[in-house]
Amino acid sequence: MTRARRLVRLLVPFGVRRPLGIALYRVWRTTRRTLRELLGRLPFLAARDFAYDDRFYDKGDPMKLESYPRFARALIGLRSPRSVVDVGCGSGLMLAEFAKHGISVRGVEGSRAAIRRSGLGKRIVRANLERGVPDLGRYDLCLCIEVGEHLSARSARRLVAGLTRLSDVIVFTASPPEDGTGGVAHMNSKPKSYWRTLFADHAFAESPLENELLAAIADVPEPRYLHENLIVFERSPSG
C-alpha cells in the first residue's frame, strides 16, 4: 500500500471513504466510456487505438471464443476456401481458425492491440478503413463482420468497393439502427436494404450460401449478430 493510501485511510473515516470511492469510480467509468465513444468516431488510427484497446477485447472476445471458430469451420465445410481475407478482423479469432486448417489468411485491422493479440503477425495489415480497403489481391472468401457501422457514412461506398475487389463472395454483417447492443461508436447503423443497394452497384446479390450458413450455426447462441445481421453477397454471373 502506498504512503498516500495509508494516509487517506488514517485521516478519512471508512463511512466517508466508501461512498466517495464508489462515486469516483462511477465518474471514472462514465468519463472513460464517453471518451472511448468520442475517440472511436474520429477518423484517425491513433484515436481508435484508444477506443479499441486491450480492455475492449478483454470484454468482447470471451463471447466469441466458441462462436467465431464455429462460424469459420461452417464456412470451410460449405465452401472449402483456399484463401480468406477478413476486413476489420479484430483479434483474428476467425482467421486463426482458418489458418489451423491450412488456409491462407490475411487480415485488415486498425487497432494495434487487436493485431498484437492475434498472434498472426504480418498476416494482418494495419490500415485506416475510413480511407478505404487496401488492395491485397484476390481471395476465395472475404469476411467483414460488424465493421460498417463503425465507419462514417461517407466511407460506406469505399468500404463496399474495397470488399468487392477482394473476392466474389463476401460474408458481411453490420448492426442495424434498431440494434440495442450498446456497441462502441456506431456511426452508420443502417438496415440491410442499405447495404444490399451498395453491393448491387457492384453487381453483387445475396447468395444461397447465406441460408446454408445460418443453418450451420443455428445452435450457436451468441453473438446474436452472426444470425440477425448476416448477409452473404456473391458476384452475379453477369457482373
> Per-residue pLDDT tens for 162-218?
999 999 999 999 999 875 445 667 889 999 999 999 999 999 999 999 999 999 999
Q: Which residue ranges make up each domain of the chain?
A: 1-40, 59-235
**What is the spatial order of strands in the sheet that 141-145 belongs to?**
124-126, 104-109, 83-87, 141-145, 169-173, 231-235, 204-206
Q: Given CATH 3.10.20.30, say whether it is the number of domain 59-235.
A: no
End-to-end CA distance of the chain: give it in Å, rounded: 67
In this structure, are residues 159 and 169 in contact, taking their beta carbons and an 8 Å threshold?
Answer: no
> Per-residue pLDDT tens for 12-70?
565 655 665 565 556 555 555 666 566 557 677 877 777 888 988 998 899 899 999 99
Confidence category of residue 239, pLDDT binned at 50, 70, 90: low
Of all residues in the chain, what percent carry a pLDDT higher than 70? Answer: 78
Query: What H or E segment, with its residue span, contains residue 206?
Result: strand 204-206
As a 3-state breakdown, the chain gives helix, strand, coil percent values, each rounded to 5, of 55, 15, 35
> Per-residue pLDDT tens for 39-49?
557 677 877 77
In this structure, are residues 191 and 231 in contact, taking their beta carbons and an 8 Å threshold?
Answer: no
Q: Quote the pLDDT of residue 194.
A: 98
Going by the DSSP 8-state scheme, the letter that residue 175 receives in this structure is: -
Q: Quote the pLDDT of residue 180.
A: 47
Strands 169-173, 231-235: parallel, antiparallel or unpaired by DSSP?
antiparallel
In this structure, are residues 231 and 208 in contact, taking their beta carbons and an 8 Å threshold?
Answer: no
